[in-house]
Amino acid sequence: MASTSSLRSPSTWVFAATLGLLIVSLWWNLVGAPTEATMGTIQRIFYYHVPSAAAAWTALLLNAGASLWYLVRRSPVADALALAGAEVGLAFLTIVLITGPIWARPVWGVWWVWDARLTLTLAMWVMYASYLILRQLTPPGSLQPRLAAALAVFFAADIPIDYMSIRWWRTQHPSPVLFGGPDSGLAPRMLTALLISMAAFLAVMGCLVWLRYRQEMARGRLAALRQRQLLLEES
């Protein structure tokens, strides 16, 4: 088992590379990308908003996959990954829900619209917040991972249906047409900035999930050792 306290270990390189990527991305987001014609400087939030969403979705997809794996194999690795994915995913969802309205208000004139994407994002935020609350409120042991995994599978089955149904609803009741959406006319340099930012955010997400996963596994090992100790003392 490689010690992660050494500066030469692989994880340090990965963290350093992620940090580098973030700095490069920062330059591109603020300087490298041209200012958007209609929206102005505020549009640059786009380079944080969209990658946050991508990072959130990836982390939550990990949660869904790991939960399914747990239900099949009961592996503690699966449970730790599921927990890490949910926490990191929720954090990035929070960023999405904060940056979105900040961008929307000056550009569209409204803080919020009930279109498919936003409604779904809000619903997902509540879902995964309640997932974490459930984990908090259930006594640790064999029950907590089982309940959490079952809940995560329910969410995973539900989210595509959510999106479809809200989308259909919106085609029946169209919301006001909002121009200047995220995919309208992306200049090449903007695309570059977006892709770099995407890579940076996914890297950060990966690092966070990795750290949380290792923390959770360590906590499990510590608990097992503690149990052994408790059995040995006080005969």
Q: Where do contacts with other proteins occur on this chain (CB under 8 A)?
A: 71, 119, 123-124, 126-127, 129-130, 133-134, 137-143, 146-147, 149-151, 153-155, 157-158, 161-162, 164-166, 168-169, 172, 226-227, 230-231, 234-235
Nearest approach, Cβ of residue 212 and other proteins (Å) = 22
Instruction: Return d(Cα 180, Cα 108) in angstroms, integer.
Output: 9
CB 56 within 8 A of CB 120: no
The pair of structure tokens assigned to 160 is: 């595509």
Nearest approach, Cβ of residue 128 and other proteins (Å) = 9
CB 85 within 8 A of CB 131: no
Nearest approach, Cβ of residue 149 and other proteins (Å) = 7
Backbone angles phi, psi at 40, to 5 degrees: 85, -160
Nearest approach, Cβ of residue 118 and other proteins (Å) = 13
**Is 108 or 112 the residue whose CB approaches other proteins more closely?**
112
Instruction: Return d(Cα 84, Cα 74) in angstroms, integer.
Output: 16
CB 92 within 8 A of CB 173: no
- Dihedral angle, C-alpha 51, 53, 58, 60, nearest 10 °: 150
**Is 2 or 161 the residue whose CB approaches other proteins more closely?**
161
Instruction: Return d(Cα 70, Cα 79) in angstroms, integer.
Output: 6
Nearest approach, Cβ of residue 146 and other proteins (Å) = 5
- Exposed/middle/buried for residue 98 (C-beta within 10 Å: 0-12, 13-18, 19+): middle
**Is 133 or 191 the residue whose CB approaches other proteins more closely?**
133
**Is 27 or 154 the residue whose CB approaches other proteins more closely?**
154
**Is 151 or 209 the residue whose CB approaches other proteins more closely?**
151
**Is 5 or 172 the residue whose CB approaches other proteins more closely?**
172
